[in-house]
A and B are shown apart, each in its own frame.
Chain A
Amino acid sequence: AQKVTQAQTEISVVEKEDVTLDCVYETRDTTYYLFWYKQPPSGELVFLIRRNSFDEQNEISGRYSWNFQKSTSSFNFTITASQVVDSAVYFCALSEISNFGNEKLTFGTGTRLTIIP
């Protein structure tokens, strides 16, 4: 069975500090996708990134960067120069192929990030 672990339940940092959110996953699939979503206090899910299991290149998007390491089954997310608007719950997710051939997402339990002004 697939599993996603986000060991950090809550993190608080002062504005402008850098912060890294950890994500460790388990899967027997050789092809899979990893995702990060942001859930602000308003409650909707905001898609941040999708990464194919064959692409281990790190990715940077503005203040956001992602470090994918297959050797340690980790897909960590770093926010540099954090801002108050980054305060949210962040979910890591993993795709899996069901017995019916469809793909579905397995989510971690989330990390609540609070940026202190």
Chain B
Amino acid sequence: NAGVMQNPRHLVRRRGQEARLRCSPMKGHSHVYWYRQLPEEGLKFMVYLQKENIIDESGMPKERFSAEFPKEGPSILRIQQVVRGDSAAYFCASSPPSYRVNEQYFGPGTRLTVT
């Protein structure tokens, strides 16, 4: 059973470009969480999605950031018009159809660098 997959692992964007980060949850998992880790900091919750629904986006910046988890395909975290402050590691986690956070499995992360 493959783990949570994230791609790309490293992404370089110039200021003003768009960044698209993908997360494929573990097989059978229908819940996805996105976390951001700024340099030298811990992870911070951004958004929680179920298939075709955003449930909790309380940690998402109000502008330029969006997330989706379509019926088919991976979850996408989209950052429009990136700025240097968006440089961070973005981690995705998935869990099976229950609300137990103790079953959250993390992917390897995508490291975004904005130049």
Contact = CB atoms under 8 A, between A and B. Distances in A.
Interface of A: 4, 33, 37, 43-45, 47, 50, 91, 93, 95, 98-110
B56 A95 contact: no
A-side binding surface: helix, strand, loop or mixed?
strand
Nearest to B33: A104
A44 B109 contact: yes
A71 B99 CA distance: 27
Nearest to B57: A100
A110 B41 CA distance: 7
Contacts of A98: 48, 56, 58
B101 interface: yes
A43 B45 CA distance: 18
Nearest to A35: B102
A102 B102 contact: no
Interface in B44-93: 44-45, 48, 55-56, 58-59, 89, 91
Contacts of B109: 43-45
Contacts of A100: 48, 55-56, 58
Contacts of B22: none
B43 interface: yes
B55 A102 contact: yes
Contacts of A102: 31, 48, 55-56, 99, 101
Given A103-B100, A103-B101, A105-B104, A45 B41 contact: no
B28 interface: no
Nearest to B100: A103
Nearest to A52: B102
15 contacts: A37-B106, A43-B111, A44-B106, A45-B109, A50-B102, A91-B42, A98-B58, A100-B48, A102-B56, A104-B101, A105-B101, A105-B104, A107-B42, A109-B41, A110-B42
